[in-house]
Amino acid sequence: MSDPLTPHREVRPRVLMVGPLPPPVGGMATVVQNLTHALSDRVALRVINNVKTTATDRSLWQGVAAQLRLLGRLAGVCLTWRPTAVHIHTCSWFSFWRNGADLVLVRLLGRRAVLHIHGGQFHRFLESLTGVRAWLARRLLSAAHRIVVLSPGWREILLPWANSARIVVVPNGVPVREPATPPNDGPFRILCLAHYQSGKGQEDLLRATAALRVHRAVRVDLLGSEAEPGRREALMALARELGLDGVKVPGPVVGAAKNAKLAAAHCFCLPSYNEGLPMSMLEAMAVGLPVVATRVGAIPEALVDGAEGLLFAPGDTAALTGHLQRLITEPAAAAALGAAGRERLARDFSLAHSAELLLGVYASLAR
């Protein structure tokens, strides 16, 4: 019998996280980085950073060798450290199949696996699967002890593919920050944080901005990394063609530089055609920026249209122009939208809230 006077030492779950860390800039890497900071004091945590390190022009065998080295590291940590849970971050297409190898290895080594699904095109990925590939995807999903999705809507998408009892909703979360205080004078600053690629809709934002009928100068900051070669130059060329002088396309920003851009903006715009639960939008909500975004992915579940943000259909540049015009000409309404969005984030999408939900997942696996 244990001595009742002896203090009970709580055994923290051991969690091995597998996913990318910045750089590069990206939603999934930001999620992994945020979670490692939020969970490090609550669990015994190790991270295998699986970000791509080989050159773009690498040979097939170099790519295979790099992946085998990652699998070897995963096997080594599982065998020597024996984690309570292996938390694998994945998204669509090649990432899912590559992480499927991680999942199979974890199960073969007797560890419990959490598969965390990101990416705005996962539904399209599933819809594309037929025959053997569909069967294999179902087998891989059934191998996970828990499947983490970003919203109830994404849970519905996964229901035909996996055991409903294993699907857990854990929204992305970010730290709640002090409200932004952009200057009252000078240009109205529209901030867009997104990769330079066709599916992010930056061209729609530029065309909507060119159609504005306001007496105030407007500046558009398109910040991100070039996911498609030549896309950055194409955006600058379109801005010149439309006669927009206040468009900046400088590339990615991180850390303090990104926080400074958020603090100086008057609104955040994400005209994307596909999203999961975008981290950049949550970061804007965290500082009270009014958000204008497309009605895709989990965005409508994160913002009440007209009360906590302004939503529109992808590609509807007329609606986007109208939303931007309203924010410019009605500053009180813009401030109210930003404040309501920040309150919603603090309630449902804070990093502390997401970390607490994951701790519950780990505790259920430990039991």
Q: Are residues 118 and 247 in the same domain?
A: no
Tokens, residue 259: 């926080």
Q: Are residues 75 and 211 in the same domain?
A: no
- pLDDT tens across 294-345, in order? 999 999 999 999 999 999 999 999 999 999 999 999 999 999 999 999 999 9
- pLDDT tens across 41-68, in order? 999 999 999 987 666 667 778 888 889 9
Q: Which helix (H) or strand (E) holds 44?
A: strand 44-49
Residue closest to 172 by CA, chosen among 272, 273, 264, 284: 284
Residue 1 pLDDT level (bands cut at 50, 70, 90): very low
Q: Are residues 358 and 242 in the same domain?
A: no
Q: Are residues 20 and 160 in the same domain?
A: yes
Burial of 248 (0-12, 13-18, 19+ CB in 10 A): middle
| Residues 6 or more apart whose Cβ sits within 8 Å of residue 19 | 28, 29, 31, 32, 47, 48, 49, 50, 87, 88, 89, 116
Q: Are residues 310 and 362 in the same domain?
A: no
Q: Are residues 133 and 244 in the same domain?
A: no
Task: Give strand pairing partners of 231.
Answer: none
Q: Are residues 32 and 114 in the same domain?
A: yes
Distance CA 67, CA 51 (A): 11
Q: Are residues 232 and 131 in the same domain?
A: no
Domain of 333: which CATH number? 3.40.50.2000
Q: Are residues 139 and 200 in the same domain?
A: no
Q: What is the domain range of residue 102?
A: 14-173+350-366
Q: Are residues 341 and 195 in the same domain?
A: yes
Tokens, residue 245: 């002088």
Q: Are residues 160 and 223 in the same domain?
A: no
Is a pLDDT exceeding 80 seen at residue 24? no
Give how many domains the chain has, as a whole number: 2
Confidence at residue 200, expressed as pLDDT on a 0 to 100 scale: 96
Q: Are residues 161 and 211 in the same domain?
A: no
Residue 178 included in any domain: no
| Residues 6 or more apart whose Cβ sits within 8 Å of residue 181 | 263
